[in-house]
A and B are shown apart, each in its own frame.
Chain A
Amino acid sequence: MSLELKNIEMKVGVETYIHQTNLKLEKNTINILLGSTLAGKTTLMQIMAGLLKPTSGEIWFNEKNVTGLKVQGRNVSMVYQQFINYPNFTVYENIASPLKIIGVNPSEIKERVGKVAELLKLSPMLDKKPDELSGGQQQRTALARALVKDSDLILLDEPLANLDFKLREELREELPKLFEDRECIVVYATTEPTDALMMGGNTATLLEGKVIQYGKTLEVYNNPHNLSSAEVFSEPPLNITDIKKIGDTCSFLDNSAQWKTKINIKDGNYKIGIRPHNVTIKKNEGNSVEIKGKILISELSGSESIIHFKNGKFNWVSLSSGSHQIKVGEEIKLYMNVDECLFFDKSNRLVKNG
C-alpha cells in the first residue's frame, strides 16, 4: 500500500495554492504535515482524499493512477478541526453510520463500534446525542467514526486543535497506538511542532504551498535542510543571527560573541539558527559561548523560563529550566550552546550542524 503524489500542482485563478510537489507515503506510517495556517496542509489533504482535483500532476494509490477518481470511489476517512457529527444521531449511531452505509451486518457493527468506543473512552456515552457532550467527546466521536471503517487512508486535519490542552496531550499519545496494528496510511496536519515530535513517524514541513522537507520526524528536526524547514519545526521560534567564520573562529558580525570551531566549511558569512533550549541562563554541559541580551520580557511556565531578549538587532528567545525572573530592560549574559548551532549558507541551505 502506498500513496504517491507525482508532480502535483494546484492553482486557483492566478494564485498557486500548491507548488509542484512529489511525495510518497508508505503503508503503516503516520505522516505529519507540519506548517502554519495557509501553508497548504488542508489543500494537500483534499487532493489526497480526492475532494479536489489538482491542476496538474497525478495521484497514485497502490501503484494505480487514481487522479480524478472522486472521494466516494476511494476508501478514505477524514476528520476536520471543527468536529462534524450528525446532531440527531446518538454517539453510537454516529460511529456506526459509515458501516451501515456499506452494509456491514448488525452484529459486526455492534462489535466494531464497541471496540472503537472503548479505545476512545466513549463507552459511557454511546446513548447520548452530540450536543450533550463536551467538545473533546464530540471530537472523539468524529475520530471514532473515521477509525471504525477500515480505510486505506485516514486524513486528520488538525483534529486536536479545538481541544483542551490536557486532552490534546492525552490524545496525541493515544493516537499512534490506535494505528499500530492497522493496515493504513495516516496523514495528520498540524501547526504544532510538539504534535509532530510526540506522534513520531514521518514529517513533511510545509511553507507557502511547498513541501520543503520530508523524512523521519526526528531526522527532519535534527537536520533541517534549509532555514525555512528549521523555522517551521521550532517552537518557541528559532533564533537566527548572522556570523562570520574565519579559520577556526566563528563570531557574530558585531564581534560581541566569538568561539572556536572545528567545523569544516569555507570561510565566509553564514546565518546560524539555534533553538531556544540551547540558549540558557545557566551554563550547561557542552561548548557554550557567552552572549549579551537586553531583556524584552520574561515568562515562567512553572518548570521552565522563557526569556525574550535583544542581541544586536535580533530578537532572541531563550528557554531555560528552572524559574528565572528578570526585569524588563536589564542587560544579562546568556549561554549559547555552539554544538547545537545550525549553519546556513547565503541561499539558506543547511551546510553544517554542530
Chain B
Amino acid sequence: MAKVTLKNLSHSYLKKQEKDSDFVLTNINIDWNDGGAYALLGPSGCGKTTLLNIISGLLIPTKGEVLFDDRDVTQLNPVQRDIAQIFQFPVIYDTMSVYDNLAFPLRNRALSETEIDYKVREIAEMLELTSTLNNRASGLTADGKQKISLGRGLVRSDVNVIMFDEPLTVIDPHLKWVLRSKLKELHQKIKRTMIYVTHDQTEALTFADQVVVMHEGQIVQTGTPIELFEKPKHTFVGHFIGSPGMNLLPCKITNGEINLAGQRIASNTSIKKTNFEKTQVGIRPEFINFSKDGIPVKVLKVNNIGRHRIVDVETGGGKIKILSNPQDEIPSGSAFVTFNQKYTYAYGDDWIIE
C-alpha cells in the first residue's frame, strides 16, 4: 500500500500546446495518504478519467509527476506500478468458475495453492460469493459479475492502490446500497488506499473520507462530505453536490454586503474585494425557511417527493428552490423567506469570497 502524490500535473492530448484550453488537466496537486478512502467526483468531461489513467500508468502526463510513497513512477507502465483497477462494466472470464476468476490474479503471481485458497475464500466470504464459488461466472447477474470484478481487485494484498472507475453504474439501486456499504466495510477491514471515481455525488460522499471535486480539468475543492456541503468554495461544488444543488442568484456587493434585488442579505463573511466581473449569492435549499418577513417571494410549485417537498419560488433576483419537511406548512401565493445567515455565501467569479 502506498501514499499517492500528484505534483503539478497537467495533461494535453495535443502534441503542441499553445493556450490553456489545449489542456484537459491543469495544475493538479493531490496528496492521498496510505490506507485512505478517496473519491474523485465530477461530471463526464471534467478530466477525471484522464487523471485516473495517469495514476494507473495508461497515460504519461504532459507535465508533472506521479509519486507512490515519494518514489517517482511517472514513466512506469501499469504492471510496474502494481495497482488494481475495477471498471464500470464487469470484466470476468466467462468460461471460468467464480473461484477461478478470483484466483486468477493470484495464480498469475504464482502464489501457492493453499495461500490462494485461503485468500479466495476470505474475499468470497466478505462479498457473499461463497455459495457460488463453484458456479460458472457466465451465469451470474450483472451485480454478481461486478462483485467478482471487485473481488479480483481486492484479493491481492500487494497492490499499491485500488482504483474504482464508476463501479456501480450497472447495478440496481437496491443492490447499490448493499455493495457500497460492503465496499466501505471492506475498506475499514483491509485498509488499502482506495480511489473511487464517479459522477454520482451520493456514491462519492458515502464512500470517501475525502472528496476531490473536479470541474473543467481543475480541482475546485477537496474536503470531507460535510465541508463540501456546508461551505462550497466554488459555485460548481454548490451546484454539483446536494440534490437539488445550491441556489445561486446574481447579486451586487455594496459596502461589503450582499445586495439581492435591492435587499440586503446577511452573511457571516466580510467582503473586502469587490472587483469581480460576476458576483452571486449562494444558499442551499436546506437552509431557507418560510418566515413572517424577510425576502418577498412568490410560491410557484410544490413537488412532494415523499420524505420532503421541493418548493419552487420566485424572488426579485430569480428563481430558487427550498427544501421543506413534510410537517412544515407551505404558504401559497406571496410569502417571505429567510436565508440562514451561517450558510449564506457570496461568490466572485465563481469562487467563494472570504
Contact = CB atoms under 8 A, between A and B. Distances in A.
B229 A302 contact: yes
B327 A323 contact: no
Interface stretch (B23-31, B120-128, B239-247, B292-300): B239-247
Interface in A146-180: 162, 164-167, 169
Contact of A302 (B172, B173, B180, B228): B228
A237 B177 CA distance: 8
Contacts of B228: 302
A303 B307 contact: no
B44 A136 contact: yes
Interface string B195-206: 000011110011
Contact of A317 (B177, B201, B205): B177
Given A169-B244, A198-B305, A164 B173 contact: no
A299 B224 CA distance: 12
Given A236-B177, A275-B307, A299-B206, A165 B229 contact: no
Interface in A253-301: 275, 277, 285-286, 296-297, 299-301
Contacts of B199: 164-166
Contacts of A236: 177
B229 A297 contact: no
Contacts of B44: 134-136, 164
A150 B286 CA distance: 40
Interface in A14-58: 36-38
Nearest to B42: A164
Interface in B256-306: 284, 286, 303-306
B135 interface: no
A37 B142 contact: yes
Interface stretch (A61-69, A122-130, A189-197, A345-353): A189-197
B327 A166 contact: no
Contacts, number: 100
Contact of A301 (B45, B142, B169, B206): B206
A306 interface: yes
A15 to B, nearest CB: 15
B205 A300 contact: yes
A144 B43 CA distance: 22
A302 B327 contact: no
B205 A301 contact: yes
A21 B201 CA distance: 37
Contacts of A235: 173-174, 177
Contacts of B185: 296-297, 328
Contacts of A308: 181
Nearest to B312: A173
Interface string B220-232: 0000111011100
B142 A303 contact: no
Contacts of B142: 37
A166 B286 contact: no
B95 interface: no
Contacts of A135: 44
A218 B177 contact: no
B304 A166 contact: no
A198 B303 contact: yes
A285 to B, nearest CB: 6
A24 B327 CA distance: 34
A221 interface: yes
A297 B181 contact: yes
A166 B44 CA distance: 10
Contacts of B184: 297, 299
A306 B286 CA distance: 17
B188 interface: yes
Interface string A300-315: 1111001010000000
A194 B229 contact: no
A169 B239 CA distance: 11
A135 B199 CA distance: 13
A243 B4 CA distance: 51
A169 B243 contact: yes
A187 B327 CA distance: 32
Contacts of A237: 174, 177
A323 B304 contact: no
Nearest to A277: B307
Interface in A54-108: none
B241 A302 contact: yes
Interface in B146-178: 169, 172-174, 177
Given A235-B174, A299-B181, A166 B205 contact: no
B177 A303 contact: no
A77 B245 CA distance: 32
Contacts of A321: 286
B177 A300 contact: no
Given A237-B174, A301-B205, A165 B225 contact: no
Contacts of A303: 229, 242, 284, 286
Given A164-B199, A296-B181, A323 B174 contact: no
A297 B187 CA distance: 11
Nearest to A231: B174
A302 B208 CA distance: 12
A164 B43 contact: yes
A58 B244 CA distance: 42
Interface string B294-325: 00000000011111000000000000000000
Given A37-B172, A277-B307, A296-B181, 6 more contacts: A165-B200, A191-B174, A235-B177, A275-B307, A303-B284, A303-B286
16 contacts: A38-B141, A162-B169, A166-B43, A193-B306, A197-B304, A235-B177, A297-B181, A297-B184, A299-B180, A299-B181, A299-B184, A300-B205, A301-B229, A306-B206, A317-B177, A328-B185
9 residue pairs, one from A and one from B, having the closest CB atoms: A302-B229, A299-B206, A277-B307, A197-B305, A300-B225, A164-B199, A165-B200, A297-B181, A36-B172
